[in-house]
Structure 1
Amino acid sequence: MGTLDMAEILLDAYHLADQINESEEVQAYLNLRKKLKEDPEAQKLIREFQKLKERYEEAQRFGIFHPNYHESKNQAESFLKQMRAHPVIGSFLEAEEKLDHLLYQVSSMIARSVSESVKVPVNDMGKGSKKGRKACGDR
Structure 2
Amino acid sequence: MLATTEILLIEEEAKAIAEMIIASDVAEQYRICLSNLNTNKETKQKIFAFNTMKVQYEEVQRFGRYHPDYKKVMMEIRQLKREMDLDTHVAAFKLAENNFQKLLDEVSVIIGRSVSEFIKVPTGNPFFDELSGCSSGGCGSGGSCSCSA
Which category describes the TM-score, using the shorter chain as reference length? 0.5 to 0.7
1:10 Cα offset (Å): 1.2
1:14 Cα offset (Å): 0.8
1:21 aligns with: 22
| Alignment size in residue pairs | 121
TM-score (structure 1 length as normaliser): 0.66
2:101 aligns with: 100
Whether the 8 Å CA contact 2:26–2:96 is kept in 1: the answer is yes
Identity of aligned residues (%): 24
Aligned runs of 1:74-85 on 2, under 5 Å?
75-85=76-86
- Structure number, greater radius of gyration: 2
TM-score (structure 2 length as normaliser): 0.62
2-side partners of 1:85 and 1:38: how far apart? Answer: 17
Q: Aligned to 2:122, which of 99, 120, 123?
A: 120
Whether the 8 Å CA contact 1:36–1:43 is kept in 2: the answer is yes
Compared CA separation, residues 11 and 86, structure 1 to 2 (3 A): same
1:31 Cα offset (Å): 0.9
Structure of higher RCO (CA pairs closer than 8 Å, 6+ residues apart): 1
Whether the 8 Å CA contact 2:46–2:83 is kept in 1: the answer is no
Unaligned runs of 5+ in 2: 127-149
Whether the 8 Å CA contact 1:111–1:118 is kept in 2: the answer is yes
Unaligned runs of 5+ in 1: 125-139
Cα RMSD (Å):
3.3
Residue 33, structure 1, aligned to residue 37, structure 2 = no
